[in-house]
Homo-oligomer: A and B are copies of this chain.
Amino acid sequence: MAHPDSFIERMGLAAESDGLSRIAGRLFGALILHSEPCSLDDLADQLGVSKASVSTEARRLLERGVAERIGKPGDRRDYYSLSSDFFAQIIRFRLSRWATLHRLAKEMHEEAGDLPRLVRERFAYIEDVNDFVLARVDEALREWSEHEGRPAERRRQRRTNTPKPVAKRQVVRGERLG
């Protein structure tokens, strides 16, 4: 199969189980595969969807910190490319949704006084797992962020030597954001 297309298409599908639209997922896939920033019309054309959809969904990617808007001198168009730490941003976003769930349980635990023993134990169990498991992601993300922005010299374990998350491109017109 045409690999790039099937990759993009499967990204679209995968995104649907993550609270994103299919187009947002395809957008994400397309941006991964492009080394140069893409204009809105480029993307609409390549994906075969309307400009309106690209505009809307691209904004959602911006809001999640996955993509960024790029300007080019002497060009009125907006260009989009992945942000340098897009993958970590996705993790952060998922963590924040998780935190919502956790906070909900925490509130309930604290505000309700007359809960049966087993129920109270459950809430305690939630706290436990959260501290035991999820706190590690947080920690790992923080550590990762410390390395971010510095060139070269990355590599934790496994696999071979890797350059570094992407260098920054020319940012001319970065601005407003929800």
Interface-central residue, A19, A87, A155, A166, by most chain B CB under 10 Å: A87
Which of A51-59, A70-78, A94-102 contacts the other chain?
Answer: A94-102
Q: Would you call A35 and B88 a contact (CB within 8 A)?
A: no
Choose from B7, B98, B100 the contact partner of A108 (Cβ within 8 Å).
B7
Q: Tell me, rounded to whole Å, the shortest Cβ–Cβ distance linking A3 to chain B.
A: 5
Contact A151 B7 (CB under 8 A): no
Q: Copies per complex?
A: 2
Q: Which residue of B lies closest to A17 (CB)?
A: B19
Contacts of A40 in B (CB 8 A): none
Min CB–CB distance A160 → chain B (angstroms): 8
Neighbour of A112 across the interface among B4, B144, B153, CB < 8 A: B4
Which residues does chain B contribute within 8 Å of A144, judged by CB atoms? 129, 132-133
B137 in contact with A157 (CB, 8 Å): no
Complex-state Cα separation, A136 to B162, whole angstroms: 12
Contacts A124-B163, A164-B121: A137 and B133 contacting too (C-beta < 8 A)?
yes
User: Is A159 touching B127 in the complex (CB atoms < 8 A)?
Assistant: yes
Contact A118 B35 (CB under 8 A): yes
List CB contacts (< 8 Å) of A70-129 with chain B: 82, 87-88, 91, 94, 97-98, 100-101, 104-105, 107-108, 111-112, 115-129
B124, A152: Cβ atoms closer than 8 Å:
yes
Contact (Cβ within 8 A) B18 A87: no
A135 contacts partner chain B, Cβ-Cβ < 8 Å: yes
Given A14-B100, A100-B14, check contact A111 B3 (CB 8 Å). Answer: yes
9 A-B pairs besides A87-B126, A133-B137, A137-B137 with CB distance below 8 A are A18-B101, A34-B119, A120-B152, A121-B164, A124-B163, A132-B140, A132-B156, A133-B140, A133-B141
